[in-house]
Amino acid sequence: MARIQGVDLPNNKRIEIALTYIYGIGLSSSQKILNSTGISPDTKCKDLQDDEVVKIRDILENDYDVEGDLRRLNSLNIKRLIDNGCIRGRRHRLSLPVRGQRTRTNARTRRGSKRTVAGKKKAPKK
């Protein structure tokens, strides 16, 4: 089992897809990495040689922000917006949609599940 950047890559998947399990690496980044190392994208993860894993690790450490560093960078950017007091920061603080989506009917993911009022009686049927 290949372990890169603290992530266990799945053994039975192609290396092109397995690299996308690393936070910050998508399919296009994965293809660029494999092109620069000369590894075939069709290689299964369990069939990788040790030197190939080392090549991938070196490229990820030198050229890409992944996993913890990228998560930290994202959280610092959000914290900066909140500290500035700009509208995007206020929306983050209130757990509302940040990018202009409507909130009257949608946005259940950000606002939470629908709360009902306790003790409210339903209108009688006619």
CATH of domain 3-63: 1.10.8.50
pTM for this model (two decimals): 0.75
- pLDDT single digits (tens) 72-116: 999 999 999 999 989 999 999 999 999 999 888 888 888 888 777
Domain 68-111: CATH architecture, name and number where available: Irregular (4.10)
Taking the domains of the chain in order of start, what are their residue ranges?
A: 3-63, 68-111
Secondary structure of the chain in HEC code, one letter for each residue: CCEECCEECCCCCEHHHHHHHCCCCCHHHHHHHHHHHCCCCCCEHHHCCHHHHHHHHHHHHHHCCCHHHHHHHHHHHHHHHHHHCCHHHHHHHCCCCCCCCCCCCCCHHHHCCCCCCCCCCCCCCC
Evaluate whether 3-63 and 68-111 have a shared fold. Answer: no
Residue 119 has pLDDT above 80, yes or no: no
Residue 71 has pLDDT above 90, yes or no: yes
- pLDDT single digits (tens) 13-68: 999 999 999 999 999 999 999 999 999 999 999 999 999 999 999 999 999 999 88
